[in-house]
Structure 1
Amino acid sequence: MSAALAFRPRTLAAWWPAGLLAALVACAILAPWLAPMDPDRQNLMARLKAPGFEARGALYLLGSDELGRDVLSRVIHGARVSIVVAVSSVLLSGVVGVAVGMLAAYLRGWVETVLMRLVDIFLSIPAILLAIITVAVLGPGFINVILVLALTRWPRYARVAYGQTLALADRPFVRLSRAMGASTPRVLALHILPNIIGPLLVVATLEFGLMVLFEAGLSFLGLGVQPPMASWGAMLSTGRNYIATAWWIATFPGLALFLLVLSANLIGDRLGDLIGKGR
């Protein structure tokens, strides 16, 4: 009995971030059905109303913004934007970065020199500055934000994949596979990638939270997702002008942003601990 009681708090501490992240992802997926109102519907007669305000049978549970739009509905739909952008940019940057890192470590020679110097160049530029410059050139928009974030973050995956592949490239099972005539793509995909996927998953989990912050930062500056599409960063940007009179406009999207990034980072830390113990 005492062992069970001792185990339960540790279990909850380990899994509540995953539950929180799952709940936020579910809100993003089910946004059209969970949101009580159209997030873009304006009602100037109900502008800047405090949480709990009710008008014409509509309850503004988290209040309304400067155009009378329901804050709760916009927060729920904003979760969809943040999560889709983060997942897409993580997948795209991960594929590019892992491919570059593995090829550099496996082929060596001039390929390694060229690819890793390219990685060094990208890593020498502040990521947020590179993102701002690139999106200013390409123009703001949903797809452009994904491309920009992927462009700025692939070198981190390349570095991890490079180091992990370098440690495995001369292992007996890899040399045996090459001796039997396996092609480079086959060796990398079937023999090396499965053995380095753990550290890459940790990086991807931590990068997910960072991508959410980057997307919010770009939207805050007006370079991300454009109105009328709901975005947490854009809501924070608008809410700062009303922080003294309508605190709820910025507080609730900021809280949602905090919880999403926190849960992703805690899951990444937990994965890192599990992989470290496995070794």
Structure 2
Amino acid sequence: MIARTLPRPRPALWPFIPILAGFVLVAVFAPLIAPHDPDAQNLLGRLKAPGTTARDTFYLLGSDELGRDLLSRIVHGARISLAVAIASVVASGIIGTALGMVAALRGGWTGTIIMRVVDIVLSIPPILLAIITVAVLGPGIVNVVVVLALTRWPRYARVAYGQTLSVVTMPYLRIARFTGAGPVRLLWRHVLPNIIGPIIVVATLEFGLMVLFEAGLSFLGLGVQPPTPSWGSILSTGRNYVSTAWWIATFPGLCLFLLVLSVNVIGDTLRDRVDRGSD
């Protein structure tokens, strides 16, 4: 009797693509969508509940402790979160993929040293490594991108290393070597196109983690610095007013939840399709 493997149930994909696309559009057109200046203070309108008006200013999602419009700060915070996540994913992906391919293609001591460094970095909790690094470099958007790229590149290196090992034995790669193709041409023209699928899947899953890491660092005061709005810094402020102004922490937390959930579901779907394609 042959046992059948039931397909793993997956959530419907269609609701999450519009959610992710909506966040991207909000981030791109933040200056046009935000109803007010995110940094404009109105002390007479501080801690106003959602749907109230103070000094001719309507607060759809309420105001914070300085009377700043929460909706405007969330909209501009989406731009910061997505920009940091995209930049860190691209940087870590380029570094990790390049090192992973070089380690697999060269082998020997080069490959051993690269992969041992990967093991060392992966053995350290990523958020702890990020906190230590940003504490040394200092807070700021650029430093946050550098820190996230330096802490997450080993994930790409491992995937690129394993995928490249399965490609280097292919006949077309041997033919390319015999025709005089150098290492750079081999990696760029023959190896990378054949391993880019799994790398994209990793990048999609890492994107959600980058958003969470940026929010966590900003929550701790080590990321984006005030008055620049960030979901993490808004959450950090909102924790002090949970009992009196619940909306300050609730709405950015909900946005963070929806964005990460959408990216993870899309990433899981891509991974399943890539796995089926490789079977």
Give the structure-1-normalised TM-score. Answer: 0.95
Partner-residue secondary structure (3-state), 1:15: coil
Give 5+ residue unaligned stretches, structure 1: 1-9
Give the 5 Å matches for 1:172-211: 172-211=171-210
Q: Which amino acid aligns with 2:251?
A: F
Q: Is 1:168 the counterpart of 2:175 in the alignment?
A: no
Aligned residues: 270
**Higher mean C-alpha displacement, 143-152 vs 117-126:** 117-126
Give the 5 Å matches for 1:133-148: 133-148=132-147
**Higher mean C-alpha displacement, 55-64 vs 44-53:** 55-64
Q: Which amino acid aligns with 1:79?
A: A
Q: Distance in 2 between matches of 1:120 and 1:55?
A: 56
TM-aligned CA deviation for residue 59 of structure 1 = 1.1
User: Which has the larger share of helix?
Assistant: 1
Over the aligned positions, Cα root-mean-square deviation in angstroms equals 1.3
Matching residue of 2:67: 68
Aligned residues with identical type, % of pairs: 67
Q: Distance in 2 between matches of 1:57 and 1:69?
A: 13
Give 5+ residue unaligned stretches, structure 2: 1-8
Q: Distance in 2 between matches of 1:194 and 1:129?
A: 34
Q: Distance in 1 between matches of 2:84 and 2:104?
A: 30
Q: Which amino acid aligns with 2:205?
A: L
Q: Which amino acid aligns with 2:253?
A: G
Matching residue of 1:277: 276
Matching residue of 2:231: 232
Matching residue of 2:250: 251
Matching residue of 2:79: 80
Q: Which amino acid aligns with 2:143?
A: N
| Alpha-carbon displacement from aligned partner over 1:166-213 (angstroms, at most 9, x marks no partner) | 111111111111111111111111111111111111100010000000
| Alpha-carbon displacement from aligned partner over 1:215-248 (angstroms, at most 9, x marks no partner) | 0000000000000000000011110000000000
TM-aligned CA deviation for residue 267 of structure 1 = 0.7
Q: Distance in 1 between matches of 2:265 and 2:75?
A: 22
Matching residue of 1:5: none
Partner-residue secondary structure (3-state), 2:14: helix
> Does the 8 Å contact 2:44/2:54 carry over to 1?
no
Q: Distance in 1 between matches of 2:45 and 2:64?
A: 9
TM-aligned CA deviation for residue 58 of structure 1 = 2.0
TM-aligned CA deviation for residue 27 of structure 1 = 0.2
Q: Distance in 1 between matches of 2:203 and 2:32?
A: 29
Give the structure-2-normalised TM-score. Answer: 0.95
Q: Distance in 1 between matches of 2:19 and 2:275?
A: 24
The ranges of structure 1 where at least 4 consecutive aligned residues each deviate by more than 4 angstroms after the TM superposition are none
Partner-residue secondary structure (3-state), 1:14: coil
**Higher mean C-alpha displacement, 30-39 vs 56-65:** 56-65
> Does the 8 Å contact 2:34/2:76 carry over to 1?
yes
